[in-house]
Amino acid sequence: AQSVTQLDSQVPVFEEAPVELRCNYSSSVSVYLFWYVQYPNQGLQLLLKYLSGSTLVKGINGFEAEFNKSQTSFHLRKPSVHISDTAEYFCAVSEVPNAGKSTFGDGTTLTVKP
């Protein structure tokens, strides 16, 4: 069984400041890791994914994340946020190699203030 913990339920930040959204996971098997973003009244959209290889992955909209196997973490970062980044962010895992169901964290609300 897998579980995902997003350590911050809400993150307020000023525009152009850096941000980190934290995600830890627990699993008895190897996992694939994902970050999704959900804008109000919209579906989830993939930001980035880690499947294998380089532990630093880059995604859309200037986001990146680093997989740390020893700490079972997959934190999301952006060096300079915009007002338009205000949204709900979800970390998720799925099992290698089947990549069936995903287990999601409860989300982090990122609010970017002017």
Partner 1 sequence: DTGVSQNPRHKITKRGQNVTFRCDPISEHNRLYWYRQTLGQGPEFLTYFQNEAQLEKSRLLSDRFSAERPKGSFSTLEIQRTEQGDSAMYLCASSSLRGGGTYEQYFGPGTRLTVT
Residue type, 109: T
CB 26 within 8 A of CB 6: no
Q: Of these, 7, 22, 49, 77, which contacts partner 1 (CB under 8 A)?
A: 49
Stretch in the footprint of partner 1 (CB under 8 A) among 16-24, 28-36, 60-68, 77-85: 28-36
105 binds partner 1 (CB under 8 A): yes
User: How far apart are CB 60 and partner 1 at their closest, in Å?
Assistant: 12
The answer to the question of residue 45 lying near partner 1 (CB under 8 A) is: yes
68 neighbors 57 (Cβ within 8 angstroms): no
CA distance 63 to 20: 10
